[in-house]
Homo-oligomer: A and B are copies of this chain.
């Protein structure tokens, strides 16, 4: 299979799932990827890449690693890329096989669960935030955009490459939380204000997962039902809601151990 054809196939979720590969674009992201333990399977490169010192260095690195490289035109590269300006480079790498069972049994621990979060930029920003603030993992439930969507990978700025992010069903997530004695809190505007949580006598669990819902409709009925408690960040009445990544950041920072 030509690498260009493969890259185009990976633009769709079905293609990514069948090939167990994802796409990373742009100099900075590809550099990050090459620093990780993930396995890079091939690269598409246009003449633009060698036009900068940093790009030339990256090209050399790809060659030194014996990664298969296909040299194509800028227009061909764009046809396989998600951005208009992929900076002359796009690589394909293996989606790591991560399972809930493999997650470290650390304590204290914080996890993020995404319940129908649909905007790729938001999901990427949550992953970046969760990685930065030391969450153990980010778990995507059905209805959430594919974590390996190219837009998500781009907006996570490399978080995928070291922060455990994985997809499972509600039942798998619930069984895991219960087996590991991890509490589940839901972010919900009708919940207990986060400031009051400390004062009500119920301690914050050592191990805690925070579930965040859809940008428009919030937590699903299932999430409300399964959460041990619902917590809110009080906001001005003139504003509908916080951005989901901003909310994740505030919760993770406030609940840090």
Binding site for B on A (CB under 8 A): 121, 125, 128-129, 131-134, 157-159, 162-163, 233, 235-236, 238-243, 245-250, 253-254
Contact = CB atoms under 8 A, between A and B. Distances in A.
B249 A128 contact: no
B236 A131 contact: yes
Given A253-B250, A254-B253, A239 B132 contact: yes
17 contacts: A125-B243, A128-B239, A128-B243, A129-B246, A131-B239, A132-B236, A132-B239, A132-B241, A132-B242, A158-B240, A242-B249, A243-B245, A247-B249, A249-B249, A249-B250, A250-B253, A254-B254
A161 to B, nearest CB: 9
B254 A134 contact: no
Nearest to A126: B246
Contacts of A128: 239, 242-243, 246
A84 to B, nearest CB: 13
List of 4 A-B pairs having minimum Cβ-Cβ separation, nearest first: A246-B249, A132-B235, A132-B239, A250-B253
Contacts of A132: 235-236, 239, 241-242
Contacts of A129: 242-243, 246
A170 to B, nearest CB: 27
B157 A238 contact: no
A28 to B, nearest CB: 9
Nearest to A254: B253
A233 B134 CA distance: 12
Nearest to A248: B246
Contacts of A163: 238
A131 B254 CA distance: 20
Contacts of A241: 132
Contacts of A159: 239
A192 to B, nearest CB: 16
A157 B235 CA distance: 15
B246 A125 contact: yes
A195 to B, nearest CB: 9
A236 B133 contact: yes
A131 to B, nearest CB: 5
B243 A131 contact: no
A19 to B, nearest CB: 27
Nearest to A129: B246
Contacts of A240: 157-158
A125 to B, nearest CB: 5
